[in-house]
Amino acid sequence: MYLFKNVSGLRDFLEPFRTKSRKIGFVPTMGALHEGHLSLIRQSLESTQCTVCSIFVNPTQFNQAEDLEKYPRNPAKDLQMLYEVGCHAVFMPPVGEVYPRGIDTSVAIDFGQLAEGLEGRFRPGHFQGVAQVVNRLLSIVEPQQLFMGQKDYQQYLIVRHMVRALELPVEVVMSPTVREANGLAMSSRNARLSAAQRNQAAIIYKSLQDACQWVKQGLSPEQVREKALQQLGIPGFRPDYFEVVDGLTMQPLDNFDGLGMAVACTAVWAGEVRLIDNTILQP
Ligand code: PAF
């Protein structure tokens, strides 16, 4: 496995793959890796000839300085995990390499309603920051396939929209959420939970599973939302939202007409740690 800290080193390494038309797969991360990231790496290893993983805690997607400061970091363990899974190259750049001084790397795309609700509402500017860094990383790595997890479903839609809007030659592949034994979605932020919070956080997945049952029983999106919010209101936990949305537009649904895709999305504070999760209610 090769480790690169600057753009030119990584591009030199990737050049022979490009000239021989070998597929490059890319998994962008912010480190503090877990089994969810490794499943993306494995998927890339299966379908491409060279897998690149980036580890970069992107400052432009944090709307709170404290969240950025407290974001878990464990580069030595990350590298060990990537080596063991068989990743080919790791890109671990300093901020100045991703955002060179004096160069405008912002992405001029209006994501409209895709970015208005849910995470967009509670984390203003977050998706512009995600789009900025993913676009910049894609321009450096130039992969044929980009692998992203379903846990960040809205982020996946934003990136897919950006790829289409900018006509980038990359396929965006979404992989299923990997979960702990109790159903909690794997996330780098889980490292900040106490053992008790980790156990109790199983309620998040339970609310999503119950939502699937409530839909089958004929409840409306609003009834599902209310029941789930009630369920999530356990001591020490505070939901920001539980929404039932159209899986293509991220707009709240009024009914389940059986035609479109319906997704239940939630964000919940477990003490000082904010966790998100979702499930597809109607494919
Ligand atoms: O999902 C994440 O870890 C980040 O938002 C991403 C896609 C690596 C961009 O910084």
Distance CA 21, CA 42 (A): 21
What domains are there in the chain, each with its CATH number? Answer: 2-175 (3.40.50.620), 188-282 (3.30.1300.10)
Q: What is the pLDDT of residue 266?
A: 98
Q: What is the pLDDT of residue 217?
A: 96
- The rounded Å distance from CA 125 to ligand 1 centre is 14
Q: Of 26, 27, 58, 60, which is best to mutate to test ligand 1, by the most ligand atoms within 8 angstroms of its C-beta?
A: 58
Q: Is the CB of 133 under 6 A from ligand 1?
A: yes
4, 89 contact by CB (below 8 A): yes
260, 278 contact by CB (below 8 A): no
Tokens at 223, concatenated: 């009834």
Reported as a single tens digit per residue, the pLDDT across 222-268 is 999 999 999 999 999 999 999 999 999 999 999 998 778 999 999 99
- The rounded Å distance from CA 147 to ligand 1 centre is 11
Q: What is the pLDDT of residue 257?
A: 85
* Alpha carbon nearest to ligand 1 atom 3, residue: 29
pTM over 0.95? The answer is yes
- The rounded Å distance from CA 23 to ligand 1 centre is 22
How far is C-alpha 102 from the chain's CA centre? Answer: 28
- The rounded Å distance from CA 194 to ligand 1 centre is 24
Clarify whether 126 is annotated catalytic: no
Q: What is the pLDDT of residue 157?
A: 98
Continuous segment of H or E residues that includes residue 239: strand 237-246
Reported as a single tens digit per residue, the pLDDT across 34-88 is 999 999 999 999 999 999 999 999 999 999 999 999 999 999 999 999 999 999 9
Distance CA 208, CA 280 (A): 9
Q: Of 52, 53, 155, which is best to mutate to test ligand 1, by the most ligand atoms within 8 angstroms of its C-beta?
A: 155
Q: Lay out the sheet containing 145-149: strands in order across.
A: 2-4, 89-91, 50-55, 24-29, 145-149, 171-175
Reported as a single tens digit per residue, the pLDDT across 108-121 is 999 999 999 999 99
Q: What is the pLDDT of residue 47?
A: 98
- The rounded Å distance from CA 202 to ligand 1 centre is 23
Q: What is the DSSP letter of 184?
A: P
* Residues contacting residue 108 through CB under 8 Å, at least 6 positions apart: none
Distance CA 148, CA 91 (A): 17
Continuous segment of H or E residues that includes residue 90: strand 89-91
Distances (CA, A) of 176 to 35, 138, 201: 12, 22, 19
Active site residue: 37, 88, 126, 161, which one?
A: 37
Q: Is the CB of 137 under 6 A from ligand 1?
A: no
- Asked if residue 158 has pLDDT above 90, the reply is yes
Q: Is the CB of 119 under 6 A from ligand 1?
A: no
Q: What is the pLDDT of residue 283?
A: 87
Q: Is the CB of 28 under 6 A from ligand 1?
A: yes
* Alpha carbon nearest to ligand 1 atom 2, residue: 29
